[in-house]
Amino acid sequence: MAVGVFDSGLGGLTVLNAVTKRLPDVPFVYFGDNAHAPYGVRDANDVYNLTTAAVSRLWDEGCNLVILACNTASAAALRRMQESWIPTDKRVLGVFVPLIEALTERNWGDNSPPREVAVKNVALFATPSTVASRAFQRELAFRAIGVDVEAQACGGVVDAIEDGDMILADALVRSHVDALHRKMPNPEAAILGCTHYPLMADAFQSALGDHVKVYSQADIVAESLADYLTRHPKMIGTGITSKFLTTGDAARVSSRATQFLKRQITFEKA
């Protein structure tokens, strides 16, 4: 009855932490493609190939439902996967749609026509690849009208977080917020469009100011997943054991993950 959680690196652990707290009786298999991280600087075909390989590995673990806890994979690969690759008895869900549903105050799975919403000026902070895909704007257009989105590619932030250099990550966040402000001086809301970024949520909030509502994905995705599994209980797969898999150096990844979640995490080689 396991559910898979995939990320290119360690950022998806923020989502895993939230979903395990929300769904304590569901086993989760986490797959980090640390050997090929970060995805945010790769082209769409490369991201697609790496993502499908990882999802296939999670299916082998008995995870019929896989969460792409990676915005770059969700942006660059998910639609193509859903249109031509995923078999009918499997599901792969991204992290963009729950975030947009929260921003536009829609119920989970609401597919009614786009409508006016309260927020008009939104800042999107994401990896260069996610920004280039315009996937966030495309999904938002299905649900809301009259919203101006200004995207800021946050180069270097993921690398700094993965390396554990939070001083550099903080400086980069403030630099990217300054760059965003030059394009959109008064955002009403900000989207942290990378699952690494919740680790820097305080830095983003401080640089943006308390008047800006910052949307972070982990808890939103957890609530969306709980709702989805209530509506589709058969999508909980046959796997029964929680585990952590990585394509990288298992010892190094385990050490870094333990620092991330502040509890012992042991990865196995995928």
Question: For the segment 44-80, what is each residue's pLDDT rounded down to a tens digit?
Answer: 999 999 999 999 999 999 999 999 999 899 988 999 9
Return d(Cα 217, Cα 191) in angstroms, integer: 8
SS3 123: strand
Task: Confirm if 90 and 65 have CB atoms less than 8 A apart.
Answer: yes
Return d(Cα 148, Cα 86) in angstroms, integer: 33
Tell me which DSSP letter residue 210 carries: T
| Predicted confidence (pLDDT) per residue in 137-152, tens digit | 998 999 999 999 999 9
Return d(Cα 140, Cα 147) in angstroms, integer: 9
Amino acid at 43: D
Please give the CATH topology (third level) of the domain spanning 97-216.
Answer: Rossmann fold (3.40.50)
pLDDT of residue 234: 86
Residues of the chain with pLDDT under 50: none
Q: Taking the domain 3-94+218-269, which CATH number applies?
A: 3.40.50.1860
pLDDT of residue 1: 67
Which is it for strands 189-192 and 148-153: parallel, antiparallel or unpaired?
unpaired
Catalytic residue numbers read 70, 194
The CATH 3.40.50.1860 portion of the chain extends over 3-94+218-269, 97-216
The runs of H, that is alpha helices, within 121-265 are 128-133, 135-141, 157-162, 166-183, 201-208, 217-231, 250-261
pLDDT of residue 188: 97
- Helix-, strand-, coil-residue percentages of the chain, each rounded to 5: 50, 15, 35
pLDDT of residue 97: 87
List residues bridging with 56 in a β-sheet: none
pTM, rounded to two decimals: 0.88
pLDDT of residue 247: 97
Return d(Cα 221, Cα 178) in angstroms, integer: 28
Here the tokens at position 87 are 């078999």
Task: Confirm if 4 and 61 have CB atoms less than 8 A apart.
Answer: yes
Instruction: Tell me phi and psi for residue 28, to 5 degrees.
Output: -125, 140
Instruction: Tell me phi and psi for residue 262, to 5 degrees.
Output: 60, 35
pLDDT of residue 61: 93
